[in-house]
Amino acid sequence: MTELRNVERELHRFRSRVLAAAAFVLLGFGLVGARLFYLQVLQHDALSARAEANRIAVLPSVPNRGLIVDRNGVILATNYSAYTLEITPSKVEQPLERVIEQLGELVEVTPRDRRRFKRLQEESKNFDSLPIRNRLTDAEVARFTAQRFRFPGVEVKARLFRQYPLGETGSHLIGYMGRINQAEKKAMEDWDEDLQANYRGTDYIGKLGVEQSYETMLHGTTGFEEVETSAGGRAVRRLRTHPPTPGNTVVLSVDIKLQAMVEELFGDRRGALVAMDPRTGEVLAFVSKPTFDPNLFVDGIDVENWRELNESIDKPLLNRALRGTYPPGSTFKPFMAIAALTTGKRNAGQIIYDNGSFQFGNHTFRSHGDHGLGPVDMHRSIVMSSNVYYYSLANEMGVDLMHDQLEPFGFGRRTGIDIQGESTGLLPSTEWKRRAYKRPEQQKWFAGETISLGIGQGYNNFTMLQIATAMSTLLSGGERNKPHLVHEVQDVVTHAKREVHPEPLPPLGLKPEHVEIIKRAMYGVTQEGTSTKVFAGAPYKSGGKTGTAQAVTIRQNERYNAGRLAEHQRDHSLYLAFAPLEAPTIALAVIVENAGFGAAAAAPIARRVFDYWLLGNYPSEADVAATRRGESVAPIGTPRRVEDVPLPGTADLAAGFSVPQSVAQGAAAEVKR
């Protein structure tokens, strides 16, 4: 039998399928239409902005860093532009070592470059752009550019580098620039948003000295460029620019030629000198020896140089003027004297008999050389540097009264100078000892510990900055000015000058007659005392006080013998001074480490500083050589005029390949005080 087809049922099934297919198609078109409506209408603004962002790249423009100049306009820190070859590890498509090997076929990549790059890798994130070579020549740039397609993640950039034209001169006060490390990046996250935005694209910041403390003024304002990019991310054309604003010029109060002269007089010896204007607190010289070359740090210091600087027994990276603390020795005596006058513990005419030693209990405190001076009043105690006078004075005053009287001069606390890292020093008290030691038997203050404090020994430890600041406070009759290295900041756009005047501290209110007693006694030191030979023939009147501080303790039954001690164990040579006598314009404190008596090494440097500042004289070459050896007293030979002596390094500066001619001329300019 033949089965008959049900046409009606088949047609119904067909129509159902067609309707289902049509519904599916309509649903699909509906979804597409809805998506198009969402993207083109509801999300139009957002997607348009994203598309524009993909087409347009906003690149930060790092500003020129501001100049640092001395009080006479001599350039101490400037900038130059150079090409660098940089690698972004996250974008490299081949093993990194292989990429570096291939780059070495186009440009020279030294082992030092590789070591620096590896260190930067360890300090940075994988997506940071890191330099493998700095200061590319034009030929090297051309060779790499022709082969750039072979090196994804590698590019040539033009960057600004810091330049210190005078090299090691003044390195501790100027500081240096260095690449921002991870710890500094972490700290930057706490900055406000505007400041963070201003540092986009910035890879280097100030690390020490003025470079660090005046970072925000020197940095400038970051600009930007809008550039149209291709699908591969290459810039096609520039659309809009907002130029960066260069950093401001920071003008120091320091006379860099005076600074250079003092560093030359120190020679290979260690030590520090701080000279300042007692009327204003402006620092005129801020010397720490030995120095270092800040240019070594600009593009990353290599391991060998870092090890040499960091492991040297002479500690060239230590800013001795700011962080080096020393017993003040006999330079402490004028301050003990003013404290005695202020408290009424002594009057100027009171006589103390100096027989060469001071007995306290079963301990004998000796004078230097064990020679007695006989009857001594306050004037003679300073002029002849009587230890016995100040042993007995310390015993009468007690440690806490001494602390309370001398702490306001700046001893044992930070002066507030405008660079970071200052040491507090140590001016002891009974409260200090209770805090400093853990065991009860160590916390007790013994009366015998007070005696040696009177001559600047014992626990006393201060910086040359603190001693010079204290001298300035005494000379000004108790007016307290914070020491500062920066005189003014010049706006690079408006050319406006803003002088730096730190807010003064409350005055001490010293009696003028008491100040005059101390000044006259210190003048006597240069006329009949321990520095008479050094200041012989000086056409001006100055005051001073020599000091000799022990680097190691000599037992009671021993005598000091420098010949038996290692060089680093010998006494330090100190000198505290001011000039001219009637209206001082300069006060200084100087120490030459392990150089013996104050009159032998430190005082001759002070004499030459005064000759420079007051007379415009620069020591003769023979005198410089003798002073460096510690064999000078009064100046020898015919002094040179300050303006006739070039700054160190400026003779070759103009030939530097990357230093602008204007910079070379500025750094070699004559100094006009």
pLDDT at residue 44 in the model:
75
Name which of 294-298, 380-384, 647-651 the model is least confident about: 647-651
Tell me which amino acid residue 664 is: A
Beta strands in 213-351 (DSSP E): 223-229, 235-242, 249-252, 271-276, 283-289
Which tokens is 52 given? 């524009």
Residue 360 DSSP SS3 = strand
| pLDDT at residue 460 greater than cutoff 50 | yes
The DSSP symbol for 327 reads -
pLDDT at residue 4 in the model:
57
pLDDT at residue 299 in the model:
77
Confidence band of 658 (pLDDT split at 50, 70, 90): very low
Q: What is the pTM of this model?
A: 0.83
- Check the CA dihedral 168-171-172-178 and report its sign: negative
Residue 122 CA to chain centroid, in angstroms?
Answer: 26
What is the average pLDDT across 401-424? 95
What is the average pLDDT across 225-254? 77
- What are φ and ψ of residue 440, in 5° steps? -55, -40
| pLDDT at residue 93 greater than cutoff 50 | yes
Q: Give the residue from 412, 393, 410 showing the smallest Cα distance to 339.
A: 393
What is the average pLDDT across 207-218? 94
β-pair partners for 374 = 354
Give the whole-angstrom CA distance, residue 595 versus residue 604: 12
> What does the longest C-alpha to C-alpha distance in the chain come to?
157
Confidence band of 31 (pLDDT split at 50, 70, 90): confident
Residue 47 DSSP SS3 = helix
| pLDDT at residue 653 greater than cutoff 60 | no
Give the whole-angstrom CA distance, residue 665 versus residue 610: 28
Which tokens is 547 given? 């000091």
Which tokens is 452 given? 């040696």
Confidence band of 53 (pLDDT split at 50, 70, 90): low
Beta strands at 374-376 and 640-641: parallel, antiparallel or unpaired? unpaired
Which tokens is 199 given? 């540092």
Confidence band of 560 (pLDDT split at 50, 70, 90): very low
The answer to whether residues 624 and 265 touch, using CB atoms and an 8 Å cutoff, is yes
| pLDDT at residue 5 greater than cutoff 80 | no
Confidence band of 564 (pLDDT split at 50, 70, 90): very low
What is the average pLDDT across 607-636? 96
- Which of 230-234, 555-559, 623-627 is the most confident on average? 623-627
| pLDDT at residue 487 greater than cutoff 80 | yes
pLDDT at residue 563 in the model:
45
Using alpha carbons, list the distances in angstroms from residue 627 to 262, 415, 418, 438, 631. Answer: 10, 30, 31, 46, 6
Give the whole-angstrom CA distance, residue 593 versus residue 608: 18
| pLDDT at residue 504 greater than cutoff 90 | no
Give the whole-angstrom CA distance, residue 390 versus residue 346: 11
Residue 443 CA to chain centroid, in angstroms?
Answer: 36
Which tokens is 330 given? 């006999």
| pLDDT at residue 368 greater than cutoff 80 | no
Which residue bears the tokens 């005129």?
284
281: left (phi over 0), alpha (psi -120 to 50) or beta: left
Give the whole-angstrom CA distance, residue 45 versus residue 50: 9
Residue of higher predicted confidence among 10 and 329:
329
Using alpha carbons, list the distances in angstroms from residue 532 to 384, 535, 583, 599. Answer: 11, 6, 21, 9
Which residue bears the tokens 């790249």?
57
pLDDT at residue 666 in the model:
38
Give the side-chain half-sphere CA count within 13 A for 411. 28
Give the whole-angstrom CA distance, residue 271 versus residue 128: 41
- What are φ and ψ of residue 470, in 5° steps? -65, -40
Give the whole-angstrom CA distance, residue 396 versus residue 277: 34
What is the average pLDDT across 328-351? 96
Which tokens is 290 given? 């030995």
337-356 burial: b if 16+ Cβ within 10 Å, else e = bbbbbeeebbebeeebebeb
Give the whole-angstrom CA distance, residue 436 versus residue 573: 29
Q: Give the residue from 492, 418, 494 showing the smallest Cα distance to 215.
A: 418
pLDDT at residue 649 in the model:
67
- What are φ and ψ of residue 576, in 5° steps? -115, 135
- Where do the H-state alpha helices sit in 565-667? 598-610, 621-628, 661-667
What is the average pLDDT across 67-90? 91
Which residue bears the tokens 């002073």?
627
- Check the CA dihedral 9-10-15-20 and report its sign: positive
Residue of higher predicted confidence among 451 and 88:
451
Share of the chain above pLDDT 70, in %: 88
Q: Give the residue from 440, 17, 423, 486 showing the smallest Cα distance to 250.
A: 486
| pLDDT at residue 178 greater than cutoff 50 | yes
Helix axis angle, 387-397 relative to 333-343, nearest 10°?
40
Q: How many of the other CB atoms lie within 10 Å of CB of 630?
A: 17
β-pair partners for 575 = 546, 590
What is the average pLDDT across 246-252? 94
Which tokens is 593 given? 């480490």
Catalytic annotation present for 385: no
pLDDT at residue 614 in the model:
97
Give the whole-angstrom CA distance, residue 71 versus residue 167: 18
> One of 288, 330, 542, 632 is an active-site residue; which one?
330
β-pair partners for 587 = 276, 578
Share of the chain above pLDDT 90, in %: 54
**Segment 267-315, tens digit of pLDDT:** 999 999 999 999 999 999 999 999 999 999 887 787 888 889 999 999 9
pLDDT at residue 320 in the model:
95
| pLDDT at residue 651 greater than cutoff 90 | no
Across the chain, mean pLDDT equals: 86
Give the whole-angstrom CA distance, residue 178 versus residue 172: 15
- Check the CA dihedral 66-71-77-79 and report its sign: positive
Give the whole-angstrom CA distance, residue 183 versus residue 262: 36
What is the average pLDDT across 529-535? 94
Confidence band of 363 (pLDDT split at 50, 70, 90): confident
Overall size of the chain counted in residues: 673
pLDDT at residue 655 in the model:
36
| pLDDT at residue 202 greater than cutoff 80 | yes
